[in-house]
Amino acid sequence: MFLDFFYKLRSLNAPVSTREYLDLLNVLDSYSKKNETISPERFYQIARSILIKDVKYYDAYDLAFSECFSGLVSDDDFKSKLNDWLQNALEKELSEERKANAMNLPSEELMKELQKRIDEQKERHDGGNKWIGTGGTSAFGHSGFNPNGIRVGGEGINKSALAVAGRREFKDYRTDEILNIRQIKVALKKLRSLKESGRKELNIEKSIKATCNNAGEIEIIETKSRKNNLKLVLLMDIGGSMTPHSNRVSQLFSAAHQTNHFKEFKHYYFHNIFYDDLYHHANLHPDEITDFQKLKSIHNSDTRFIIVGDAYMAPYELFQMTGSMREFYYSFIKDNKKSNLTGMDRVEVLKKLYAKTVWLNPEPKKLWSAPTIKAIKEVIPMFELSIDGLSEAIKELI
Amino acid sequence: MSELNEYVLSEELKEAIKIAEITKRPLLIKGEPGTGKTLLANFYANQNNLPLFRWHVKSTTLAKDGLYFYDALTRLNDSRFGDQSGRDVNNIKDYIRMEAMGQAFSFDGPCVLLIDEIDKADIEFPNDLLLELDRMEFSITETGEVIKAKERPIVFITSNSEKELPDAFLRRCVFHYISFPDQNMMKDIVKAHYPEVDKSLLENALSMFYQIRDINELRKKPSTSELIDWINMLLHQGANLKGTKEIPFIGTLLKSEEDLSKFK
């Protein structure tokens, strides 16, 4: 049952490994040696502290807990389940762990330890020695994992663990969508061009060397530290066919935003393709805009541009002027500027201004057959919006 | 320290500390700001009469900074101008200074180590500490000396979740999330700070406080430490909150202008 619980957690994407599993056994063992009773409430706390390392998985834990430890019909039922576990634990652990988690493959040492622990438990069980808790009837004696043992509203202030788990108080902390932000951030970290900048600082190593060369006469060497000089602009397509991808785009955005090692980071929004204006906010509010023509006065030519969009639109929108009704409408009511450029022209202008520009497409590569995608791909190198695609794109940018 | 007598330890947290003691793994603590993450280490050290070594992590902190510091500059100076301090220029050990983690590892006997706000540093920072936290040892490059903890110190690590911590690091920790105290727990906390507080004042203050916290649009919800300040303020000014619609001294609870404007 422990293993079921453990694998249930894994299937709910909570990253639990053998190490945590062994820790849990270790703690339960040590509690039992001290003859401390472990109520289900307590087990709930203990296992959560050891198995779960982030509040965003608390909800998965609650779900797994209530699924695994409720609905046991009788004492015998529970006992037989435990026996099964003890017999199968090792084989199961070996094969499934290996399959499920080739990366986190535990070392031989851990495996041996696991086997030892499991053997140990079996002996305890066979010998009728109580492992944990009272009574000595069941192997783990965790008096609470059968319905009779769960004291709903029992002693004093103790809450039933299942009731707590059932309430799912940590639902709001689920953040499945940010699971990959770290990966994106790590990829973005590669995006840097180091330049010496700032105030000179004492370089101890070089000073010592120079002083030695100088026969002990102190020679102070100062150097400037190297800082990332890279400026990045993110242009994001928003709305329409991009809506299904908004999650991944916002991941990329927040990762770039949180990565504070860029010298400059700016972002703009557009819809389908850039027109006269780039929007500052995702709601495409026409009052907060930057003129496309002014980009070159705002951003130096060594600025890196990452464009995120599916490059998918009606061909006339890319190849003809006044392609989009929305743009046409706003340029009409403003009546001030009208560049004579099509969307495709602007793609070319941008690439000419900023040689280091890439396009990230959230659609998988095999679907890149639309004429607009093909045309844009000719001008700006296009990559998939995935961790791998991003890494390739970054190579292109450096 | 008086403030430590006022620390209220929840049952759940007690359990987590116990587990950290048994497994000898660092206890990683997260929670809203102001829920007493940092204070916990102080409290624990104080309660068990153990020395506490603190390492406050900053954005520029490197893993090595917590271990030791080789003072090459003083050595250079001593070699040039001679020294009256009793340091031996030829002995490099005289110029090696232990930092918090190094001090804890070389301490003779049980002790407590606090690594505060680990998420402030670079994203790879926790990974650089894996070996040190696992084995509780490190070597000094300059002398080749190995510092190894005779007794594994109890390590508390706090994080404000500004950055994600790497999985390899997390696997080596015991984790506890300090959830925001409920009304009953909060009552105990306030009483621990102000035993003389009037019952009805406390009830009113708490109900107001939790009402404010229930407003989802707030940029920063007031936390325990703000409540304590606020109640202190109310006690000082002799306010009783009876029948008042306006919240007095709301500036102690809400710190951002945007939030304040919602109450005007």
> pLDDT 10s per residue in chain A (398 long)?
677 888 888 888 888 888 888 888 888 778 777 767 666 677 788 888 898 888 778 888 888 887 777 655 444 554 455 445 444 443 444 444 444 443 343 445 555 555 555 555 544 443 333 333 333 333 333 333 333 333 322 233 334 555 556 666 665 554 433 335 666 776 677 776 656 666 778 888 888 888 877 777 778 888 877 777 788 888 888 877 777 777 777 777 877 777 777 888 888 888 888 877 888 887 777 778 888 888 888 888 888 898 888 888 877 777 776 555 555 555 555 545 556 677 888 888 888 888 889 998 888 888 888 888 888 888 899 988 877 788 788 888 87
Which residues on B lie below 8 Å from A178 (Cβ)? 164
Residues of B (52-91) whose Cβ lies below 8 Å from A = 72-73, 76, 79-80
Task: Give pLDDT tens digits for B9-35.
Answer: 888 888 899 999 988 899 999 887 778
Other CB atoms within 10 Å distance of the CB of residue A235? 20
Q: How far is B16 from chain A (nearest CA, A)?
A: 6
Alpha-carbon distance A15 to A225, whole Å? Answer: 39
| Among candidate residues B12, B7, B55, the one with its CA nearest the CA of residue B177 | B12
Q: Which of B79, B123, B177 sits opposite A186 (nearest CB)?
A: B123
Burial class (CB in 10 A: 0-12, 13-18, 19+), A118: middle
| Among candidate residues A136, A154, A142, the one with its CA nearest the CA of residue A39 | A142
| Among candidate residues B74, B187, B12, B196, the one with its CA nearest the CA of residue A47 | B12
Q: How far is A164 from chain B (nearest CA, A)?
A: 13
Using only C-alpha atoms, chain B has a radius of gyration, in whole angstroms, of: 23
Assigned token pair, A208: 């010592």
Residue A284 DSSP symbol: -
Using only C-alpha atoms, chain A has a radius of gyration, in whole angstroms, of: 30
Q: Which of B19, B76, B164 sits opposite A27 (nearest CB)?
A: B19
Alpha-carbon distance A171 to A303, whole Å? Answer: 41
Q: Which of A26, A181, A185 sits opposite B23 (nearest CB)?
A: A26
> For residue B134, is pLDDT > 90?
no
Residue of A nearest to B169 (CA): A53
Alpha-carbon distance A336 to A334, whole Å? Answer: 5
> Hey, is the C-beta of B112 within 8 angstroms of any chain A C-beta?
no
Alpha-carbon distance A328 to A275, whole Å? Answer: 10
Helices (H), A245-289: 246-258
pLDDT confidence of residue B76: 79
Contact A135, A75 (CB under 8 A): no
Which residues on A lie below 8 Å from B58 (Cβ)? none
Task: Tell me the C-alpha to C-alpha distance, in Å, between residue A273 and each of A243, A318, A358, A382, B189.
Answer: 15, 7, 14, 15, 57
Residue A338 DSSP symbol: -
Q: What number is the average pLDDT over the span B134-139?
A: 88
Residue A321 DSSP symbol: T
Is the CA virtual torsion B14, B17, B23, B29 positive or negative? positive
Residues of B (230-249) whose Cβ lies below 8 Å from A = none
Q: Taking every pair of C-alpha atoms in chain A, what is the biggest distance, in angstroms?
A: 91
Residue of B nearest to A187 (CA): B123
Alpha-carbon distance A318 to A345, whole Å? Answer: 9
Which residues on A lie below 8 Å from B172 (Cβ)? 19
> For residue B46, is pLDDT > 80?
yes
pLDDT confidence of residue A150: 31
Alpha-carbon distance A246 to A335, whole Å? Answer: 32
Contact call for B19 and A50, based on CB within 8 A: yes
Size of interface A-B (CB pairs under 8 A): 71
Residues 6+ apart with CB under 8 A from A343: A272, A273, A274, A275, A317, A318, A319, A323
Contact call for A23 and B173, based on CB within 8 A: no
Contact call for A169 and B179, based on CB within 8 A: yes
pLDDT confidence of residue B155: 94
Residue of A nearest to B174 (CA): A50
Burial class (CB in 10 A: 0-12, 13-18, 19+), A126: exposed
| For testing contact with chain A, the best of B79, B141, B174, B214 (most A CBs within 10 A) | B174
| For testing contact with chain B, the best of A53, A155, A167, A205 (most B CBs within 10 A) | A53
| For testing contact with chain A, the best of B25, B70, B76, B179 (most A CBs within 10 A) | B76
Which residues on A lie below 8 Å from B166 (Cβ)? 182
Listed in order, strand segments (DSSP E) in chain A are: 194-202, 222-228, 231-237, 264-270, 277-279, 289-291, 304-308, 357-361, 382-384
Burial class (CB in 10 A: 0-12, 13-18, 19+), A45: buried
In three-state secondary structure terms, A142 is: coil
pLDDT confidence of residue A7: 86
ipTM of the complex model = 0.77
Residue of B nearest to A188 (CA): B123
Assigned token pair, B243: 């029948």
Q: How far is B13 from chain A (nearest CA, A)?
A: 9
pLDDT confidence of residue B254: 84
Residues 6+ apart with CB under 8 A from B11: A45
In three-state secondary structure terms, A323 is: coil
Residues of B (6-35) whose Cβ lies below 8 Å from A = 11-12, 15-16, 19, 22-23, 25, 28, 30
Residue of A nearest to B21 (CA): A27
Q: How far is B142 from chain A (nearest CA, A)?
A: 13
Q: Which residue has the tokens 């041996």?
A: A112
Task: Give pLDDT tens digits for B208-260.
Answer: 888 888 876 677 788 888 888 888 888 888 777 776 667 788 888 888 777 77
Residue of A nearest to B177 (CA): A55
Task: Give pLDDT tens digits for B191-214.
Answer: 888 888 888 888 888 888 888 888
Assigned token pair, A71: 């609905």
Contact call for A208 and B167, based on CB within 8 A: no
One-letter amino acid for residue A40 of the chain: P
